[in-house]
Amino acid sequence: MVTDFGSILLFFITGVIFLVVMLGIARLIRPNRPNPEKLSTYESGEEPEGNANVQFNIRFYIVALIFLLFDVELVFLFPWATVFGQESLIQETNGRWGVFALLEMFLFVGILALGLAYAWRKGHLDWVRPQAKVSDIQSKVPMDLYGKVNKKYQ
């Protein structure tokens, strides 16, 4: 007699064995003819240039996180909308459930709107780079050296 956890373990072991057997068979029957063309890095059919460790602008990540936030919001709104429309639930509670659910969702969307307003106010959604303010502090370092450093990191 096998318990529930035992059947899960057997299923897992069977899956791992199946995977190993299939990869072993594939290794035996596939051709192995490496050449310089196959071993080169593929980059749209052109030879790669420069360093592969390119740093992306942080704005891409911020916009992706905001998109993810509102995508998850829709995941929560859809089941709410399907349950909220059930007439039987509204009749059982004499309409109190409907008002509570509606207020609860307005609160949820309001909190997310505050988060969006905060990100907007902080400038996380602006794609135009702000102008650098030139300092009037006198320094012993010549300004052209600062210009070279700034040009290097732009």
3-state SS string over 83-143?
A: HHCCHHHHHHCCCHHHHHHHHHHHHHHHHHHHHHHHHHHHCCCCCCCCCCCCCCCCCCCCH
Residue with more model confidence, 74 or 28: 28
pTM: 0.44
What is the pLDDT averaged over residues 119-139? 74
How far is residue 70's CA from residue 109's CA, in Å, rounded to a whole number? 10
Q: Are 82 and 147 in contact (CB under 8 A)?
A: no
pLDDT of residue 154: 63
**Residue 48 pLDDT exceeds 70:** no
Residue with more model confidence, 18 or 43: 18
pLDDT of residue 132: 65
Q: How far apart are the first and last CA of the chain?
A: 68
* pLDDT category of residue 44 using cuts at 50, 70 and 90: low
What is the pLDDT averaged over residues 22-33? 93
**Residue 16 pLDDT exceeds 80:** yes
Residue with more model confidence, 74 or 128: 74
How far is residue 150's CA from residue 144's CA, in Å, rounded to a whole number? 10
Chain mean pLDDT for the chain: 81
What is the pLDDT averaged over residues 107-118? 89
Q: Are 66 and 125 in contact (CB under 8 A)?
A: yes
**Residue 73 pLDDT exceeds 70:** yes
pLDDT of residue 8: 93
* pLDDT category of residue 21 using cuts at 50, 70 and 90: very high
